Structure 1
Amino acid sequence: MTDIKVPLGSTDLSNVYFSILALFCFKLFVKISLNLLSYFYIVRGNRKEAARISAEFYDYGKQHGSWADRSPLHDAASQGRLLAVRTLILQGHSVNVLTIDHVTPLHEACVGDHGACARALIDAGANVNASTIDGVTPLFNACAVGSVACTEILLENGAKPQSLVYRPSPIHEATSKGHYGCVEALVTWGADVDMDIPHLGTALYTACICQELECARKLLREGANVQKGRSLDSPLHAAAEKDCTVVVKLLLDFGADINARNTEFQRPVDVAPPSSITEGFLLLYEATPRLLSQLCRQCVRSCVGRDRLHLLSHLPLPARLRRYLQYQ
């Protein structure tokens, strides 16, 4: 009995193509579902489960070698366990290992104010300018918690003192929380005191919004533009609106324009709370002539220029006059 061969018709080919398409759609559905599931766990804060899903189904750990969720080195750095950090490094653990959101052990050491761990990681080759998916650097973390030790260690080892526009800014973060030591270190290492972030304004504007007097004074002494705030809102507008008379007085001493107008064409006195101490102070200041010594100081500092203000202490002038020019 002979076999009868039936040629493949158009209907059978259609079934084959349909099966291939169905398989492709199924795989695509599974992949999208896994991505959504991973995202769900990230939002819920369960990054370990998200990492497990990704590693199991996409094999990220084997393919890239540097991808991981919290490693033993992350934990040791975050807890400040220096001996454990050194031991793990000697065992071959990568100092630049990343979590799912690109946090490194150095990020953890800095946010925990663990200077010794930060130095050990840097000495072993940690990237001082590593950035998370949100643009956060170890330097930003150090400034956020006011860790002067970590800030100085990072800057000494090549950390960029300022970020790009639209990225979290170390000097704005330090200023907003009144971390004077961090602001001082950043300025010393070349951070731009007039760096302007569109949605935040300058660091001086931030200091006025947060009523951080000492940080505002430091920025102004270093040559920050007393008129530069956020858009047309000057630092004086911000201080007046917050009814912070001490900051208002500081700004006026540095030559702030009492008649500057914002986008709503209001002067600082117009945005001060009605019948407040600040409003009364501004009204009195308007009616009082400026001191000649104050005007001369502002003129001299303007002629010297921001980049050369640090040379004021070397001028062949009486010590008292030098201190006056430096607002000391």
Structure 2
Amino acid sequence: RGGNMTANPFALLHYSNVYLTVNISLTILLALILVKDTVTFVFAAGSWADRSPLHDAACQGRLLALRNLILQGHNVNVVTIDHVSPLHVACLGDHVACARALIAAGANVNVTTIDGVTPLFNACSVGSVSCAEVLLENGAKPQALVFQPSPIHQASSKGNSGCVETLIRWGADVDFDIPHLGTPLYTACVSQEIECVQRLLREGANVQKGRYMESPLHAAAEKDCTAIVKLLLDFGADIHARNIEFQRPVEAAPPSSLTEGFLLVYEATPQPLSQLCRQRIRDRVGRDRFHLINHLPLPNPLRNYLQYR
């Protein structure tokens, strides 16, 4: 058989082509593997490329491993190239026990990444009230600077009303205005997070204050979120306010939408005297003294009404 193949040039050509095809295929496969490995390496070469063992333990919530590393002398304030600390990742993973251990070992609760993100911002991103409480109890600033990512805006946009309540209780300004975002109330309306809208309003957020000339009511109307529109109006939102385009909320609502129909009826209907009185009383009491309503010598139903309960 071997002699016949040697004598047959076509057979030699056939096997040569097979060899060439296999060789090329293997070369291409090897190249793809190398490219894949390179892409994987490049993908992993961000802020996590230089993560420490502390970062890994905090990220995975491995408390025992974290404590052992701390006892071995690892620096709890070690950061990646993007200034991400172990405390950042512990809070992002809602690992409150790891966050406590890091703080107890001296972790900086106000450390910021190169983008200005704090551990408190991360806790509010994932709705970790426990981590937020631990950070605030240990000196975390409840409110960011204007040019930094804001925890209360983040919590409002994500629907994390528990974090919103915690931040306000620790001194965050409920009307904190960031030029490109507006107020937390406006952010919650844009994101259609009704629980956060309700929480912010009950804590005394200015129902008229949004972003530039755009009110929270404009934002809710544009999103066709009738439930939030009703809530804002209950708290005294101005139905006749005009935005930068000189539109009233009803004109900002989608044409023929449920919200547009509701606003048209609302404009034509006189408001109950009880509602007007409630708004007037709350205005006179003032946001800083809302907590005193509970101590007024009034029947419980009336106190509840004044507090929108």
Give the alignment's TM-score, normalised by structure 2: 0.85
Q: Paired residue for 1:117, among 81, 98, 109?
A: 98
1:318 maps to 299
Do the aligned partners of residues 48 and 241 (structure 1) sit closer, same or farther apart at CA in structure 2, a change above 3 Å counting?
A: closer
Unmatched tracts of structure 1, length 5 or more: 1-40, 52-68
Do the aligned partners of residues 107 and 304 (structure 1) sit closer, same or farther apart at CA in structure 2, a change above 3 Å counting?
A: same
Give the alignment's TM-score, normalised by structure 1: 0.80
CA contact 2:83–2:114 (8 Å) conserved in 1: yes
Do the aligned partners of residues 90 and 322 (structure 1) sit closer, same or farther apart at CA in structure 2, a change above 3 Å counting?
A: same
SS state at 1:289 partner: coil
User: Within the alignment, does 1:225 sit opposite 2:206 as a pair?
Assistant: yes
Q: Paired residue for 1:263, among 220, 229, 244?
A: 244
2:235 maps to 254
Q: Paired residue for 1:144, among 109, 125, 134?
A: 125
2:189 maps to 208
Following superposition of structure 1 onto structure 2, how do residues 29-40 of structure 1 map, counting pairs within 5 Å? none
1:46 maps to 45
SS state at 2:84 partner: coil
1:306 maps to 287
Quick one: percent identity of the two aligned structures?
A: 76
* Aligned-residue offset at 1:42: 11
User: Within the alignment, does 1:84 sit opposite 2:83 as a pair?
Assistant: no
* Aligned-residue offset at 1:166: 1.9
What are the Cα deviations for residues 299-319 of structure 1, in whole angstroms up to 9, with x where unaligned? 111111111111111111111
How many angstroms apart in 2 are the aligned matches of 1:108 and 1:241? 36
CA contact 2:117–2:149 (8 Å) conserved in 1: yes
How many angstroms apart in 2 are the aligned matches of 1:181 and 1:297? 26
How many angstroms apart in 1 are the aligned matches of 2:42 and 2:82? 12
1:26 maps to none
What are the Cα deviations for residues 69-113 of structure 1, in whole angstroms up to 9, with x where unaligned? 211001100100000111111111111011101111000100011
What are the Cα deviations for residues 231-274 of structure 1, in whole angstroms up to 9, with x where unaligned? 00000000000000000000000000000000000000001011
* Aligned-residue offset at 1:43: 8.0
How many angstroms apart in 2 are the aligned matches of 1:207 and 1:244? 12
Following superposition of structure 1 onto structure 2, how do residues 37-76 of structure 1 map, counting pairs within 5 Å? 44-47=43-46, 69-76=50-57
User: Within the alignment, does 1:176 sit opposite 2:157 as a pair?
Assistant: yes
SS state at 2:145 partner: coil
* Aligned-residue offset at 1:47: 3.5
Report the AA paired with residue 84 of structure 1: A
